[in-house]
Amino acid sequence: MSEVTAKQAMLKHFVATAFAYDKPDQLAVAVSGGGDSMALLHLMAEWAEEEKIRLWAVTVNHGLRPEAAEEARFVSEVAQKLQVKHTTLTWSGWSGQGNLQDAARRARYRLMADWAKAEGINTIALAHTADDQAETFFMRLARASGIDGLTGMQRRRVSDGITWVRPLLMQERFELRQYLRDLRQPWIDDPSNDNEAFDRIKARRAMEELSKLGIDIHVVGRVMDHLGQVRSALDFATHDHALDCVSEDQGDLILNRRRFAEGAPEINRRLVAHALRWIASADYGPRGMKLQEFLSAMMRGRDATLHGVRLLGGKESFRLTREHAAVAHTVAVPGAVWDGRWIVEGIEDKGLIVRALGQDGLLQLGELPDGAPPRETLSASPAVFDGNTLISAPLVRYGPATLRLAQPKGDFFTTLLSH
């Protein structure tokens, strides 16, 4: 076996092992036209053909550069030659405010997730490399991130109903470009990769200097592995603590005050951050002083609000419930997912809407039945309306609708180990 063939076989092996235990019938690969994603497209196309898996390629045109449309066409042409179906998604939501790269990244993931779910695809492969991982480490180090941030990107992560897989996270950028050269396959370099106004490019330049001290991609990778082991230990400890002090009640989380107080401060911080993220159906939880202030309110038995979640204090327990203001304008049709977590069923009329029960709905309900959840919980719960008329409030079994969480039973606890 020649050296070129051996290197290609190694890259194919990394792709195959990324899906060894969870091989989907169809999946997508995100392709920008750059060297990393073009290499992944070729590797995935060959692997998918061998495994009889239907592969899609998806490109997001952020509309920020005039060349973007041509780059998307380039990807489409290559995908067609590889007999891979290709689609281009367009983002036009940039307001000109805030962090451009962060806004574009969030939009990219949201667009791809929405498209994939509409096509019945639940897995998307991303072309992040060991270089990206090291750059992420230094960017987060500059923000004084904790253990979770410094462990970097995960090889496999579930978010917004999609499994995001990074098969090439252990490979270096130069290896993928050499692979493309061996195939005589061109790629397109994004000019923003040389723009030092962006934090990622600053991190890339800093790494070039740090390499003189022996701090290279491999060293950073080993440090991140060590931190990952620490994070795993903390996750298991938090999971065990949650089993001891947390119970779920109709989408809310109830924390036993005495047992919660027995937890170490870092474990309690992680537990509450996860609880807020879970109730709010958010990809990320709150950090820093705001989270610390929320924890202090818990320990004092006071009510508080953070991250779209309300804390209802009590002598024996705390209750974490959705904040009404966070869902006041959230609307769905019956049968669809509402607020990222609830599904209202038993209603066939698509002319009706699902929205938060609110104060107007509570007034129409009148006297609440014995054992009903707190009014704060009910106010933020999904209900069915015909205009302004309440048809059903399933959390208190009013009307014909039924209600269930979109996540499987025990999801709060299992996601402590897989977030």
* Binding residue numbers: 32-37
The contacts found for 50-54 with CB under 8 angstroms, 24 or more apart, are 51/23, 53/23, 53/24, 53/25, 53/26, 53/27, 54/25, 54/26, 54/27, 54/85
Residue 393 is classified by DSSP as: B
Which residues sit in the known binding site for ATP? Answer: 32-37
In Å, how far are 272, 396, 407 from 327, measured between CA atoms? 20, 19, 18
| Orientation angle between helical segments 173-183 and 3-18, nearest 10 degrees | 120
Q: In this structure, are strands 123-125 and 85-90 parallel, antiparallel, or unpaired?
A: unpaired
Count CB neighbours of 353 within 10 A: 16
Q: In this structure, are strands 353-356 and 246-249 parallel, antiparallel, or unpaired?
A: unpaired
What is the token pair recorded at 370?
């014995």
Q: With 0-12 CB in 10 A as exposed, 13-18 as middle and 19+ as buried, what is 398? A: buried
Strands (E), 173-273: 246-249, 252-256
Separation CA 194–CA 212 (nearest Å):
21
Place of tokens 């911080």: 269
